[in-house]
Structure 1
Amino acid sequence: MITQDWLTDAVLYIYALSLLFFVSDAASGNRSARKVGTGLLVFVWVLQGVFLLVLLVDRFSVPALTLRDYLFFVSWLLVSASFILNRIVRAELLVLLVNVVGFAVLALNLIERNRQKVELEPWEVARRLLLVHVGLITLAFAVLTITAILGLMYLFLHQRLKAKKWSHVMSRMPSLEWIDQYAYRAGLIGVPLLLLSLSTGTVALLLDGSPAKLLDEKVLFSFAAGALYIFYLIRRLASLDDGTKLAIWNLLGYALLVTGFFVSSLSSFHQML
């Protein structure tokens, strides 16, 4: 067993099995495998939803959050996003990649580790702002993860087309124009969420009388990521760069965001496990 809990282990294994069926569909166009994979993924999504409701009820009266809680919600959001993408666009490989990331996040979440908590500020206004901040940054992270996946797909497809190396996998991918357009649209959603989360977190720190915590490494990396994402959106809107450069700007912004998320810090504001 991975987690010493048969139910959470079952969720992880079913999720992995659903990915195998999606891989079969992406590799050979096996529609039956896609239907089975989708059915298993729906089951995983329902179980995750139940776990999430239990988690929310458990945390409702306790102003504390762990990294495991955060990652669990991100994984659920990515699975939800994959269903939406599967319904509105024909991009099987994108759906598969989103679910691969969602599975990785869930697996990381379920690995046993010490549970250090994020103690929210005692002042009620600051506490509520921090709750809003956590919710917004979680949504932003999920949306920008999809944006980064699209950026990787763009670079891969562009390189293969430039080298004139066609493969069956490429036939399962949307066009470069489609990828660029939807990466931009996802960025238009994710970046404002990121900026709102940073603004609410900043206000909470100021109300708490702790402006020095704005120099925390995670805060600085997050602000740098926000600035780079704004630069990316401006360059995309003004058509100042080609698709390859835009994809690189997109991925650099995500790299800063992820680096800030995992960087070591002694700050009580961002001390997650």
Structure 2
Amino acid sequence: MADVRWIYDLTIFLYAASVLFYLNDFLQSNRKVNRLAFGLLAVVWALQTAFFVSQAITKAYFPVITLFETLFFYSWVLVSLSLAIHYFFRIDLLVFFTNIIGFVVLVLSMFLPETPIKAVSHILTSELLLTHVTLAIFSYGAFSLSMVFSVMYLFQHKMLKERKWTPLLRRLPSLDQLEAYAYRMNMLGVPMLLLSIVLGTIWGKMVLPEKFLLDTKVFFSLLLLAAYSFWLYKRYRDTWQKRRLAQANILAFALLLINFFGVNTSNFHSWW
């Protein structure tokens, strides 16, 4: 892996530069800097893809098992979604805020081993498990974007309420658009998370003891699915104000972070 480590290091350097250029554009509305930031982000995506493929070839499995691998893949998903959103919707501020998350996630992976301390068994590399983890990370990516939309909604709502007319407001979609985008992202994330849990349950029934259903991470994953499903239900019934929906969406994402980083208490959900 050492021979491709330079790709990983260069990715972090260029990603940092891209985020800084986006920050400059955020503060000064500089379109030339914005284009440069986007160009660097496209290069970051290409480098991440190359590094990910090299890992898959070297390890002979889809690399989403260890914490390093899942963090790297999560960051890649966020960059990919950012590029797609930029192409279809041109929401520059969303790209900036999303890639703050993506960059932080990638930096966290720097402090982790690229390969597990123990050899990865054939059980852990089964197609069911790899699909389970992959779908979970994609759902987390969708929920991340939904959270960013909600943060932007609350920010714009506050600015309008206080009658603070700034140039930044002109770069934001309308409140209705922001709320609709958050809803669509959750509509994508919930089915993927549900399918991920179903596949994980099938895999668990095949290779793990019955008590795996009592595992802390399984419980929190079900709680997370219930939280986002309840959010969709309240949004469909239109019984909550949109500002309250945005706040609840951010709280649901906080639960996601707890599930991803804070719950790691079993042998089969251990990162090490």
**Same fold (TM > 0.5):** yes
State how far apart, in whole Å, the 1-side matches of 2:82 and 2:132 are: 24
After superposition, residues 250-265 of structure 1 pair within 5 angstroms as 250-265=249-264
Q: Residue 45 of structure 2 aligns with which residue?
A: 45
**Partner amino acid for 2:98?**
V
Unaligned 5+ segments in structure 1 are none
User: How many Å apart are 1:51 and its aligned residue?
Assistant: 0.2
Alpha-carbon distance between aligned partners in 1 of 2:119 and 2:211, rounded to the nearest angstrom: 18
Deviations 1:53-102 (A, max 9, x none): 11122232589821111111111111111111111113211111111111
Q: Distance in 2 between matches of 1:144 and 1:248?
A: 14
Tell me the distance in 1 between the aligned counterparts of 2:253 and 2:166.
Answer: 28
Match of 2:94 in 1: 94
> Any conservation in 2 of the 1:148–1:254 contact (CA below 8 Å)?
yes
- Tell me the TM-score normalised to structure 1 length: 0.89
Task: Give the aligned partner of residue 232 of structure 1.
Answer: 231
Name the aligned partner's letter for residue 106 of structure 1.
L
CA distance in structure 1 between the aligned counterparts of 2:12 and 2:165, rounded to whole angstroms = 34
**Structure 2 counterparts to residues 1-273 of structure 1, below 5 A:** 6-61=6-61, 65-113=65-113, 116=116, 127-273=126-272
- Counting aligned pairs with the same residue, the percent is 36
Q: Check whether the contact 2:62–2:130 (CA below 8 A) recurs between aligned residues.
A: no
2-structure distance, mates of 1:78, 1:118 = 29
State the shift of 1:164 in Å.
2.2
Change (3 A) 1:62 1:10: closer
CA gap of 1:76–1:177, structure 2 versus 1, over 3 A, is same
CA distance in 2, matches of 1:90, 1:114: 35
For residue 126 of structure 2, give the secondary structure of its aligned residue in structure 1: helix
8 Å contact 1:120–1:269 — kept in the other structure? Answer: no
TM-score after normalising by structure 2 = 0.90
Contact 2:8 2:48 (C-alpha < 8 Å) held by counterparts: no
- Could you tell me how far apart the structure 2 residues matched to 1:160 and 1:59 are? 50
**Deviation of the 1:230 alpha carbon:** 0.5
Distance 1:179 1:258 in 2: 22
Partners of 2:71 and 2:209 in 1: how far apart? 27
Q: 1:64 to 1:10 in 2, by over 3 A?
A: closer
Q: Which amino acid aligns with 2:224?
A: A
Q: Which amino acid aligns with 1:221?
A: F
Contact 1:151 1:250 in 2 (8 A): yes
The gaps in structure 2 that reach 5 residues or longer are none
Change (3 A) 1:62 1:174: closer
In structure 2, what is the Cα distance between the partners aligned to 1:221 and 1:42? 35
Q: Distance in 2 between matches of 1:72 and 1:252?
A: 24
1:15 counterpart letter in structure 2: Y
The verdict on how the C-alpha distance between 1:225 and 1:120 changes in structure 2, with shifts beyond 3 A counting, is farther
Deviates more, 1:111-120 or 1:150-159: 111-120
**Matched-pair contact (CA < 8 Å) for 2:138–2:192:** yes
Distance 2:107 2:233 in 1: 36
Q: Distance in 1 between matches of 2:64 and 2:155?
A: 41
Asked whether the 8 Å contact 2:67–2:271 carries over to 1, the reply is: yes
RMSD: 2.4
Amino acid at match of 1:60: A
Instruction: After superposing the two structures, state which structure 1 stretch, 35-44 or 187-196, moved more.
Output: 35-44
- Relative distance call for 1:263 and 1:159 in structure 2 (3 A) is same
